[in-house]
Structure 1
Amino acid sequence: MAQPMSEANSPFPTDLSKLRVALFSGNYNYVRDGANQALNRLVGYLLRQGADVRIYAPKVDEPAFEATGTLIGVPSFAIPGRPEYRFPLALSPRIRRDLATFAPHVVHVSSPDVVAHRAVSWARHRRLPILASVHTRFETYFRYYNMAWAEPVVEALMRRFYRRCDALVAPSESMAQVLRDQRMNYDIDIWSRGVDREIFHPGARSLEWRRSLGIGDDEVVIGFLGRLVMEKGLDVFSDSVDQLVRKGVKHRVLVVGEGPAHDWFAARLPDAVFAGFQGGHDLGRAVASMDVLFNPSVTETFGNVTLEAMACRVPVVAAAATGSQSLVDDNVSGRLITPGAVRQFAEALRCYVEDAGLRARHGMAGEERSLDFSWDRINQAVADTYLRLVRQKSKSRAGQ
Structure 2
Amino acid sequence: MDASDLRIALFSGNYNYVRDGANQALNRLVEYLLRQGASVRIYSPTVAEPAFPPNGEVVSVPALPVPRRPEYRWPLMIPPRVKRDIRKFQPNIVHVASPEILGHRAVTLARRMGVPAIASVHTRFETYLRYYGLAFLEPLILAGLRRFYRRCNAIFAPSESMAQLLREQRMNYNVGIWSRGIDTDIFNPGRRDLEWRRGIGIEDDVPVIGFVGRLVMEKGLDVFSDAVDLLERRQVRHKVLVVGEGPARDWFEKRLPNAVFVGFQGGEDLGRAVASMEMLFNPSVTETFGNVTLEAMACALPVVAAIATGSESLVTDRVTGRLVRPGAIETFAEALTHYCQDEEARRAAGAKGLEVSRRYGWDQVNEALVGGYIRTIRQSARPARSPVP
Shorter-chain TM range is over 0.9
C-alpha distance in structure 1 between counterparts of 2:385 and 2:297, whole Å: 48
Tell me, yes or no, if structure 1 residue 75 matches structure 2 residue 62: yes
User: Which residue of 201, 204, 207 maps to 1:217?
Assistant: 204
Structure 2 residue matching 1:396: 3-state secondary structure? coil
Cα shift at 1:150? 1.3
- Whichever residue aligns with residue 343 of structure 1, its letter is E
Tell me, yes or no, if structure 1 residue 199 matches structure 2 residue 186: yes
Structure 2 residue matching 1:85: 3-state secondary structure? strand
User: Which residue of 233, 257, 279 maps to 2:220?
Assistant: 233
Query: Could you tell me which residue of structure 2 aligns to residue 370 of structure 1?
Result: 357
Q: Quick one: percent identity of the two aligned structures?
A: 64
Unaligned runs of 5+ in 2: none
C-alpha distance in structure 1 between counterparts of 2:272 and 2:385, whole Å: 55
Deviation track 1:3-37 (CA, whole Å, cap 9, x = no partner) reads xxxxxxxxxxx232021000000000000000001
Q: CA RMSD in A?
A: 1.2
Q: How does 1:1-400 map to 2 (within 5 A)?
A: 14-396=1-383
Structure 1 residue matching 2:304: 3-state secondary structure? strand
Deviation track 1:353-383 (CA, whole Å, cap 9, x = no partner) reads 0000000000000000000001111001111
C-alpha distance in structure 2 between counterparts of 1:397 and 1:246, whole Å: 65
C-alpha distance in structure 1 between counterparts of 2:225 and 2:14, whole Å: 29
Q: Under a length normalisation based on structure 1, what TM-score does the superposition of the two structures give?
A: 0.96
Cα shift at 1:250? 1.0
C-alpha distance in structure 1 between counterparts of 2:137 and 2:178, whole Å: 28
Give the 3 Å change call, closer, same or farther, for CA 101–397 of structure 1 in structure 2. farther
Structure 1 residue matching 2:383: 3-state secondary structure? helix
Cα shift at 1:83? 0.8
**Residue correspondences, number:** 387
Structure 1 residue matching 2:222: 3-state secondary structure? helix
Cα shift at 1:398? 11
Cα shift at 1:161? 0.1
C-alpha distance in structure 2 between counterparts of 1:369 and 1:218, whole Å: 27
Structure 1 residue matching 2:91: 3-state secondary structure? coil
Unaligned runs of 5+ in 1: 1-13
Structure 2 residue matching 1:300: 3-state secondary structure? coil
Cα shift at 1:192? 0.5
Cα shift at 1:304? 0.2
Deviation track 1:314-360 (CA, whole Å, cap 9, x = no partner) reads 11000010001000111011000001100000000000000000000
Q: Under a length normalisation based on structure 2, what TM-score does the superposition of the two structures give?
A: 0.98
Cα shift at 1:397? 7.3
Structure 1 residue matching 2:70: 3-state secondary structure? strand
Structure 2 residue matching 1:61: 3-state secondary structure? coil
- Whichever residue aligns with residue 348 of structure 1, its letter is A
- Whichever residue aligns with residue 98 of structure 1, its letter is D
Cα shift at 1:396? 2.5
